[in-house]
Chain A
Amino acid sequence: MIYGWTGSNLEIDLSTGNIEKEEADTKLNEAYIGGRGVGTKILWDRVPPEVNPFSPDNLLIFVAGVLNGTIAPGANRTGLITRSPQTNLLTYSNMGGFWAPELKHAGYDNLIISGKSQGPVYIWINNDKVEIRDACHIWGKDTAETRSIIREELKNNKIQILCIGQAGENKVCSASIEHGAGASLSRAGVGALMGDKNVKAIAVYGTKDVNIAQPLEFYELCQKLNKKAERLREFVDNWSYERDGLLGKAVYGNLNEFRPMENIGGWHDAFLRDYRRRQISCSNCSLRCKHTIRTPDDEYSFIKCVSWYCFIACCKIQDLSFAIKCYTLCEKYGFDTLSCAHLIAFAIDLYEKGILTKKDTEGIHLEYGNADLALLLIEKIAKREGIGEILADGVYEAARKIGKGAEAYAYHVKKLEIPIYPLHHPYMNLTQSTSDRVDMLKSISAIPQHYVQKSEEIKKEYIESEYWPYPEEFKEYIWDNFDPTGADYDRITKMVSFDVDSNALSDLTGVCIFWTGFWPFNPYLIADHVRLISYATGMSLDEEEGMKIAKKASILVRAYNVILGIRKKDDAPPERFFQEPSTPPLFPAVDRKIFNKTIDAYYKLRGYEKNGIPTKKALDELDLGYVKEALVQRGILGNEKDKKNRD
């Protein structure tokens, strides 16, 4: 009997229509644990870097974590590993909700989709019965309509669905894959890949067991974690943008201004008072961090996190009902809110600078503060109409097409639009610059930023509490506030390196990082996390081994992207952050010398050479000998030219 994992993968080749249930490689599971680790290894083996993301040979690898489908609190993330059409890199998206747990109950750890269908289809996974069904009648429908049509058609309201909207169908580079209730696989254009493969939706339903190797120990630890979560529930409930202070700082327009959001506390209150109807949760989570809202058009919608203020900031419209309209529209079209808001600001900025003119916009006048215009632009981009066609491939590609100096205003990291958040904060800057896929929340922790600002008393209580998540030696790091210039990069790099691995561990198990590493009072410590893996699967694993596998997964991603050309030059924030302080001057402009030193120190910790390539030694230590060989074979490691660059 197999525990924790289901032991099977589902392979679907859309070109031939071939559907195969395959026994998973148990060695692979033990070496990479699951989720992102296993998925990345599959991609490494089967999709050579030369493959174009829009080629039938690119794979969509949907992964469940090893703890998904169990009673481990917060274990519900669905992961997707593929090659991004926007960045061309190996990219990873993850979301909450119910999809991956359902996939496991249907009997699969991973779903691997290859090829390309001739016409629109959707995939229906009902335990062992898997069908590729015609989707002509749903093509062109929005994501909410798509879900309800499929639920009706399959006569089962318990199925879980992933689907794309019009943006994905039109292969817009910021298209997302929507699951509903505020959960989506987004960033880097993963939705466009489903559109390219002609897959409108993937529905799954399962009635099978997920087995647990050491049931009693597993149960008791889960119970303990739920109890520990009380403190976090309280914290999340009472959390406000205003009190937190940090998240209240935003980027207005197309990085035109860095300043605190106006009256953000007031909005938060208005949001709770006028719009929110209910707090909802993903599968098996008691943190209920998502909200159902009643929209201005009297429909229900969902919202989470920063999504609700990116349109406010980018369009410079201080109106919550506007933000909710945009958000809801994006969810319907299947559109990454962050990139979408950025694209609008980018277009307006270029228009104001005279780089885009009425000729490019079909006579539309672009300006900040115009709600109807913003909504129109969302539609135009999702449908690739008019100016939308230029913007649909992201700011980097759009600037390249437009020329006339537009490149200087395309703010991205590795071709992906950045969060609407000033990257001056040294911790933020380092995480976002070095991430393989820049985003707000997937690779960071709020703790370093949160706690350094607290009173001595609170800090002391925290580091002595059962919630302290870091190694012993980090305790001294939170006594002083961070130096705004980042000159104290020693502790920052160590914290970032730890957080990246700790969050990568969550990517293997499928536990939401709100439980493991994001907030203060995370219930899971690394020790609990690896113990749960052991109890669930029966494999023996200690903290060190667990963190090593987590690191291995993230270095594997790095190595793949290094083959695609990623080097030190790409691990940097947009140029503007080196020139402009945030106002009021909370942070000075990023100091290039300090930043370079920070990167060097960070590379050392990660085991990279000065140019950002993993060293032979680091690869050997992580049992990534095959990666080393590949890098040598391609002349990336041990190659004279590169050595020269290093010196």
Chain B
Amino acid sequence: MKKIKKIEIDTSKCTGCRTCELVCSAFHYEPKYSLVNPTRSRIRVFFDEENDLYVPVIAGPYVEAECDGRKAYTIKGEKYDECCFCPVSCPSRDLFKEPDSGLPLKCDMCGEPPPPEGPLCVAWCLDDALTYVEREEEEEEEEEEKADEKESAIEYLIKKYGLEEIRDILDRKSKL
């Protein structure tokens, strides 16, 4: 058995206030809360006000290639492509990447241990669009994500700047 931590999203309750974005970005910075920048957030709200659609999307893993599927969704008569609701940090777009470095961002449930108020997006969403759930579940695939996250970040950098350059930087840093 394994403890699964999840945030459940109820889009019908979302007011589109995007408090979750702001507080997530503030929390993940050192010193904590010293800046706010929604583009650094691991949760982003997709919205189409004209169609009354508000969908919080929580950042998932980094992928190396964009997918080919490009499923289209039709919601209340409007068409949306898959990217709108897709949680991954993918080369096709800037979403879920640090704006300056381009490093992929992924929800870490606000770390281990999480702050006393629990995952912050949930705590600050007063409209219960987000709920934190913990469940015991049979062990399934993946779930070595912690290592994965760092690894994928480095892979990303190598792809972007080349192995040599990244190695140089790492060498320099390790000498400090």
Contacts and interface: CB of A to CB of B under 8 A. Distances in A.
Interface of A: 69-71, 73, 98, 105, 144, 147-148, 157-158, 180-181, 206-212, 215-216, 218-219, 223, 226, 229-230, 233, 277-286, 288, 292, 300, 302
A105 B18 CA distance: 14
A215 B23 CA distance: 12
A144 B50 CA distance: 8
Given A215-B34, A216-B33, A219-B26, A71 B19 contact: yes
A73 B23 CA distance: 11
B33 A215 contact: yes
Nearest to A220: B33
Contacts of A207: 37, 39, 94, 99
B24 to A, nearest CB: 10
Pick the 3 closest A-B CB pairs, nearest first.
Answer: A207-B99, A215-B33, A281-B17
Contacts of B12: 278
Contacts of B31: 215-216
A283 to B, nearest CB: 6
Contacts of B39: 105, 206-207
Chain B interface, DSSP helix/strand/loop, else mixed? mixed
A181 B18 contact: no
A285 B19 CA distance: 7
Given A210-B35, A281-B17, A292-B49, 12 more contacts: A71-B23, A71-B26, A144-B50, A157-B48, A181-B16, A207-B37, A216-B31, A226-B124, A278-B52, A280-B54, A284-B19, A300-B51
Contact of A209 (B37, B46, B49, B84): B37
A285 B17 CA distance: 6
Nearest to A144: B50
B158 interface: no
Contact of B35 (A181, A211, A277): A211
Given A278-B52, A300-B52, A212 B15 contact: no
Given A71-B23, A148-B50, A300-B51, A209 B36 contact: yes
Contacts of A219: 26, 32-33
B22 interface: yes
A428 B23 CA distance: 38
A180 B33 contact: no
Contacts of B84: 157
Interface string B80-100: 000010000000001000010
Contacts of B34: 211-212, 215
A218 B33 contact: yes
Given A71-B26, A226-B124, A300-B52, A284 B37 contact: no
A286 B35 contact: no
A630 to B, nearest CB: 39
Interface string B87-126: 0000000100001000000000000000001000000101
Given A71-B26, A284-B18, A284-B19, A292 B37 contact: no
Contacts of B32: 215-216, 219
A233 B15 CA distance: 13
A229 B126 contact: yes
A75 to B, nearest CB: 10
Contacts of B47: 157
B127 interface: yes
Contacts of A230: 126
B79 to A, nearest CB: 13
Interface in B1-38: 12, 15-19, 22-23, 26, 31-38
Contacts of A105: 37-39
A280 B16 CA distance: 6
A181 B117 CA distance: 31
Q: Counting chain A CB atoms within 10 Å of each CB, which of B18, B26, B50, B99 scores highest?
A: B50
Contacts of B23: 71
Nearest to A147: B50
A229 B127 CA distance: 12
B99 A281 contact: no
B122 to A, nearest CB: 13
Contacts of B126: 226, 229-230, 233, 286
A216 B32 CA distance: 7
21 contacts: A70-B36, A71-B22, A71-B23, A98-B18, A148-B50, A157-B48, A207-B39, A207-B94, A211-B35, A212-B26, A212-B34, A226-B126, A278-B12, A280-B16, A284-B18, A286-B17, A292-B49, A292-B52, A300-B50, A300-B52, A302-B49
B17 A282 contact: yes
B12 to A, nearest CB: 8
Contact of B33 (A71, A147, A279, A282): A71
Contacts of A218: 33
A563 B149 CA distance: 63
A281 B22 CA distance: 14
A518 B23 CA distance: 26
Contacts of B33: 71, 212, 215-216, 218-219
A283 B15 contact: no
Given A180-B49, A226-B126, A278-B52, A209 B35 contact: yes
Given A216-B33, A219-B26, A208 B17 contact: no
A198 to B, nearest CB: 26
Nearest to A293: B52
A157 B44 CA distance: 12
Contacts of B16: 181, 280-281
Contacts of A281: 15-17
Given A181-B49, A300-B52, A286 B37 contact: no
A211 B29 CA distance: 11
Nearest to A279: B15
Contacts of B49: 180-181, 280, 292, 300, 302
Nearest to A536: B36
Nearest to A156: B94
Nearest to A230: B126
B4 to A, nearest CB: 28
B1 to A, nearest CB: 34
Nearest to B123: A223
B15 A280 contact: yes
Contacts of A210: 35-37
Given A281-B17, A286-B127, A212 B52 contact: no
A278 B50 contact: no
B119 to A, nearest CB: 14
A464 to B, nearest CB: 26
